[in-house]
A and B are shown apart, each in its own frame.
Chain A
């Protein structure tokens, strides 16, 4: 997108109804119950304009439910929620007009052609064809789908469908984009193309709200994130600060074979700052992984494999919940 366009969009965002909202999203004690099940349990967060904000957590943590409430399609049980200063339950159409939404499951119209999917979606916003036709072409270019414009949707690969769904969500030039598990089920190459596209949107100042259970995705894309488990916020901060706070700089991963991993724990006592024993490996949290490995060797222990790596959000999650993100 061009600079001139950006500038004028900024001014549009800051004046929806008089005062410029400091935060585009504000949630206080947001709660959602389905019968006896509490999917979202009193979470609070605020997202300033232009931020890439992530909800990281395992499946069933309440991320999608939160996204649906933000998207104004699911009613909250209690708490308050404001999007661009509006309550999505009272001003559903107004709130949704501000948003671009990429749902967890693609719901493209498979009976329509690729380009028609964009046109039809734009019509839901009352956008005229004179705008939609060139815009659809621009978005197809952005999603690298130009040569598929006239194809039927079922002829697309999973990654292409995902990119088309993202292109569709941008048809109204939203300043807030909701992405629910944007890359789940995609191969590594398709994920990287998608991340690149999301980066560009971020550079254009679009506020990104995304859920993921991939720690690398959260680290790559998010300025700030909340770690969610069982409907509650476990921690909040930038990926780097969360790692700093809840983990060490490096991690030494040792595998002694599934028989010995558990029993070797006692012999590793005192190496590094913290020890985590998993069924398939032992993790030693240390500032200097190599030094820790030397200590292990000095004690006469011979792991089958060893690996020194930087701490990741996976380690943060493990520390916070005692469980892995992806089972």
Chain B
């Protein structure tokens, strides 16, 4: 465009704005409701995920600090401090690797599960009851299932981000010797979902807050964290408590993490069991969550 033409166009635009019409500029127009509906049907869950991620951005710094600070603290305390004591018993107990390498995958998985215990409880209560955040999008073309899905997508993004940071720190400590160690980022995300989705379904049923979530933290998350072969191999525990590990996403995730991060040797069928357990629990949790969201929002 020549300079003169450009000037003419500018003058036209100014005139149009002064005259109160936007004839010269492209008029601001929403696309038709049909297009809205079609896009929402297709991408609705991602539209809601966008909202949740925007809100998360508000406390993004906390997420990053949690992602970096927690592993550094734990790895230092356990892997460096405690390790000097436990390693005197010989590395054989921990599959021939350093104590730091042994607990690194466990801490990664546990962090994701603890994040799940936060992200799939209070925000759900907030959505249905406290600030009723879900009911805004509920009046838009989005469906309850998509609102649930959007939240899950956003939290999955957080799992991935947080686990990636965690893994980077672990790698810096030299605690992930295997070439496939990075796969534990995905395993941690899966473990977070497999613990979090059933919890989300439960959170969606709660109408009155009577401290249920604190109970979940104290009586479910903490025992799982302690008795899932996190700090010592599960088979060093008596059978009376070993079952806690068997039903724990943290144990299944941790064992998988150990396989990929330092080539921990276990029966191949057991590796398959870990994967199937995590996938199965996540899938069941998702089905229940969808059902519960649809039911609660329609009432």
Contacts and interface: CB of A to CB of B under 8 A. Distances in A.
Contacts of B299: 74
A125 interface: yes
Given A124-B48, A172-B36, A4 B139 contact: no
Interface in B5-48: 20-23, 27-41, 43-44, 47-48
A124 B131 contact: no
Contact of B37 (A75, A93, A120, A168): A93
Given A93-B41, A126-B40, A121 B136 contact: yes
Interface stretch (A49-57, A95-103, A227-235, A275-283): A95-103
Contacts of B33: 16, 84, 94, 97-98, 172, 174
A151 to B, nearest CB: 14
A100 to B, nearest CB: 9
A105 B136 CA distance: 10
A8 B34 CA distance: 16
B135 interface: yes
B136 A127 contact: no
Q: How large is the interface on A (under 10, 10 to 19, 20 to 34, 35 or more residues)?
A: 35 or more
Contacts of A74: 298-299
Interface in B259-299: 297-299
A103 B32 contact: no
B54 interface: yes
Nearest to B27: A5
B158 to A, nearest CB: 15
A101 B139 contact: yes
A175 to B, nearest CB: 8
A116 B54 contact: yes
A16 B142 CA distance: 20
A142 to B, nearest CB: 13
Contact of A96 (B34, B139, B297): B139
B55 interface: yes
A160 B94 CA distance: 62
B57 to A, nearest CB: 10
B22 A2 contact: yes
Interface stretch (A131-139, A187-195, A254-262, A306-314): A131-139
Contact of B133 (A4, A97, A109): A109
A111 B58 CA distance: 8
B137 interface: yes
B9 to A, nearest CB: 19
Contacts of B47: 123-124, 126
Nearest to B150: A124
Interface in B130-167: 131-133, 135-143
Contacts of A75: 298
A131 B21 contact: no
B119 interface: no
B50 interface: yes
Nearest to B147: A124
Interface in B57-103: 58
A110 B131 contact: yes
A71 interface: yes
A123 B51 contact: yes
B141 A97 contact: yes
A299 interface: no
B50 A123 contact: yes
A108 interface: yes
A210 B44 CA distance: 28
A125 B29 contact: no
Interface string A79-116: 00000100000011110111101010101111110001
Contacts of B135: 103, 105, 107
A93 B143 contact: yes
Given A74-B298, A96-B140, A126-B47, A4 B27 contact: yes
A107 B51 CA distance: 14
Contacts of A168: 136
Given A93-B40, A131-B29, A124 B140 contact: yes
Contacts of A110: 131
A173 interface: yes
Contacts of A94: 33-34, 37, 141
Contacts of B32: 12, 16
A73 interface: yes
Nearest to A105: B132
Nearest to B137: A124
B207 to A, nearest CB: 15
Given A126-B40, A126-B47, A131 B30 contact: yes
B20 A120 contact: no
B30 A93 contact: no
Nearest to B25: A134
Contacts of B140: 96-97, 121, 124-125, 172
A-B pairs with lowest CB-CB distance, top 10: A126-B39, A124-B140, A97-B33, A101-B139, A97-B36, A93-B141, A125-B36, A97-B37, A94-B37, A173-B30
Given A5-B28, A172-B30, A174-B33, 4 more contacts: A92-B141, A93-B44, A105-B135, A107-B133
12 contacts: A4-B22, A4-B23, A5-B29, A97-B34, A97-B40, A97-B141, A107-B133, A116-B54, A121-B140, A124-B137, A126-B40, A173-B30
